[in-house]
Amino acid sequence: MSVHSNTETVVYGQVHNLQSIAVTTLAPRKDGYWVIYIHGGAWRDPAVTSASFDATESILRKKGLPIAGFASISYRLSAHPNHPQDPSTTDPKDFQDAKHPEHIADVEVALALLQNKYGFGARYILVGHSCGATLAFQAVMGAVSGHREQTTLTAQPTAIVGVAGIYDLRRLRDTHVDISAYQEFIEGAFGADEMLWDGVSPAQVTGTRGVEGGWKSGRLAVLAYSKDDGLVDGSQVEVMKEALGNWEKTEAQISTQEDSTRDRRLRILSIGGVHDEAWENGEQLARAVTFTFEQLQEMKLAP
Ligand SMILES: N[C@@H](CC(=O)c1ccccc1NC=O)C(=O)O
């Protein structure tokens, strides 16, 4: 480990023990990006936390990329049928019963805290796996039903990387209608109102409420997907690609002094392996982040 690195746990909420961020700061560099990760686990898997970025982080650290820091966000989770808890004997700060909008609210508070503490402005890449990709794109939607009617981030990410992402909840359930777990975890996180599901799905919401209208200063969207995923089908990336079509065609709303152009890119990246392999050994997730830096370099946004 380099002498210029420091790992700490940053707490961003007092309500639950999951309201924390694993942060690694590297040697300060003005031209570097922060890589900020949002884990998956269907909004409920207690075994998938901020630590699920560890393998990816250690691969990325060896690559000499222009990275100023890493952050991996834990957030409150919904109840899991296979992990029952007794409310009378469980510390409320460990009890899993979160419902929308608590997951996205936590992520947004965490991002605000990181921004306050480290002041990286737009120089960050938001990376999400599975439902973490849902949360990453929700963070830049113009509105999120049941949560907010306006954008809240003080500075939006320059790039977002969705890996094996869920972008349309109703479609995910319909495509896997024979497997009850899909209905179960979506309902567990968002309740039974399918109109709400649509209003929080990044691929379903168009116009000013969507990513299209909300992610004003964004420059690069990368959607990584493995055809061998096994849990999230390929149509999720297809519909998200479509939803980002208008976003890509429009110029970013930034001052030109910052950068010479305002052009945007949408890239689909084919990765390998099954759903959770991406973060378990970290190779494919690291590949997606490395690919993102290559794109930013081509766009003259990274050294
Ligand atoms: N391990 C999860 C399942 C899971 O993560 C998942 C299953 C199907 C489709 C997407 C999933 N995760 C997305 O965040 C669970 O325990 O419910």
- Asked whether this complex has an ipTM greater than 0.90, the answer is yes
Would you state the pLDDT for residue 254? 84
Q: What is the mean pLDDT of residues 102-109?
A: 98
The sign of the torsion formed by the CA atoms of 143, 147, 152, 153 equals: negative
Tally the residues of the chain. Answer: 303
User: What is the largest distance, in Å, between two alpha-carbon atoms of the chain?
Assistant: 59
Which residue carries 């919904």 as its tokens?
A: 78
pLDDT digit string, tens, across residues 212-242: 999 999 999 999 999 999 999 999 999 999 9
- Helical (H) or strand (E) element with 57: helix 54-61
Query: Which residues 6+ apart lie within 8 Å of 25 measured at CB?
Result: 5, 6, 68, 69, 118
Q: Which of 20, 74, 130, 226 is catalytic?
A: 130
Amino acid at 124: Y
Question: Both tokens of residue 257?
Answer: 């002094």
Which pTM does this prediction carry? Answer: 0.98
Q: What is the mean pLDDT of residues 238-265?
A: 89
pLDDT digit string, tens, across residues 135-189: 999 999 999 999 999 999 999 999 999 999 999 999 999 999 999 999 999 999 9
100 is catalytic: no
**Dihedral (C-alpha) 31, 49, 74, 177: value to the nearest 10 degrees?**
110
Q: What is the mean pLDDT of residues 243-249?
A: 97
pLDDT digit string, tens, across residues 191-201: 999 999 999 99
Would you state the pLDDT for residue 256? 64
Instruction: Give, using CA atoms, the residue closest to atom 6 of ligand 1.
Output: 42
91 CA distance to ligand 1 middle (Å): 25
Which ligand 1 atom sits closest to the C-alpha of 48? 1
84 CA distance to ligand 1 middle (Å): 17
Instruction: Give me the residues paired with residue 222 across strands.
Output: 161, 267
pLDDT reading at 258 higher than 90: no
Residues touching ligand 1 (Cβ under 6 Å) are 40-42, 44-45, 130-131, 166, 185, 231-232
pLDDT reading at 301 higher than 60: yes
Which ligand 1 atom sits closest to the C-alpha of 129? 14
Q: Are 134 and 196 in contact (CB under 8 A)?
A: no
Instruction: Give, using CA atoms, the residue closest to atom 8 of ligand 1.
Output: 231
Query: Which residues 6+ apart lie within 8 Å of 70 measured at CB?
Result: 22, 23, 24, 26, 34, 35, 36, 37, 53, 57, 60
229 is catalytic: yes
Would you state the pLDDT for residue 80? 98
CA distance 144 to 142: 7
Q: What are the backbone angles phi and psi of residue 20, rounded to the nearest 5°?
A: -145, 165
255 is catalytic: no
CA distance 125 to 108: 14
pLDDT reading at 3 higher than 60: no
Given pLDDT bands bounded at 50, 70 and 90, which one contains residue 259? low
25 CA distance to ligand 1 middle (Å): 30
Would you state the pLDDT for residue 1? 47
How far, CA to CA in Å, does 157 sit from each of 121, 218, 241? Answer: 8, 6, 18
Would you state the pLDDT for residue 21? 98
Query: Which residues 6+ apart lie within 8 Å of 233 measured at CB?
Result: 172, 175, 176
In the chain, DSSP assigns E strands to 6-11, 20-25, 33-38, 67-73, 124-129, 159-163, 220-226, 265-271
pLDDT digit string, tens, across residues 41-60: 999 999 999 999 999 999 99
